[in-house]
Amino acid sequence: NHRWKVVYLAEQQGVEQNLDKNCTGSLYYPKQRFCLQYALKYIRTPFFILNSAYDVYQFHHILVPPSADLSGHWNHCRLNPAACNTNQTNILQGFRKDMLAALSLFFKYSKRGGMFINSCFAHCQSESQDTWLTSDSPRVHNKTIAEAVGDWYFGRRVTKEIDCAYPCDSTCHNLIG
Ligand SMILES: *[C@@H]1O[C@H](CO)[C@@H](O)[C@H](O)[C@H]1NC(C)=O
Ligand SMILES: *[C@@H]1O[C@H](CO)[C@@H](O)[C@H](O)[C@H]1NC(C)=O
Ligand SMILES: *[C@@H]1O[C@H](CO)[C@@H](O)[C@H](O)[C@H]1NC(C)=O
Beta carbon of 25 within 6 Å of any ligand 1 atom: no
Q: What is the pLDDT of residue 49?
A: 94
Beta carbon of 22 within 6 Å of any ligand 1 atom: yes
User: Which range of residues forms the domain containing residue 71?
Assistant: 45-177
3-state secondary structure of 156: coil
For the chain, the domain total comes to 2
155-166: per-residue pLDDT in tens? 999 999 999 999
Which atom number of ligand 2 is nearest to the Cα of residue 86? 13
Q: Residue 20 Cα, ligand 1 centroid: separation in angstroms?
A: 9
Give backbone dihedrals phi and psi of 134, rounded to 5 degrees, phi first: -140, 175
| Same-domain status, 38 and 51 | no
Taking the CA atoms of residue 39, residue 131, residue 122 and residue 47 in that order, the dihedral angle to the nearest 10 degrees is 10
pLDDT range class, residue 5, cuts 50, 70, 90: very low
15-60: per-residue pLDDT in tens? 556 566 666 666 555 555 456 777 787 788 889 999 999 999 999 9
70-79: per-residue pLDDT in tens? 999 999 999 9
Q: Whose CA is nearest to atom 12 of ligand 2?
A: 87
Neighbours of 2 (CB within 10 A): 11
Considering the chain, what is the average pLDDT of its residues?
Answer: 87
| Same-domain status, 19 and 81 | no
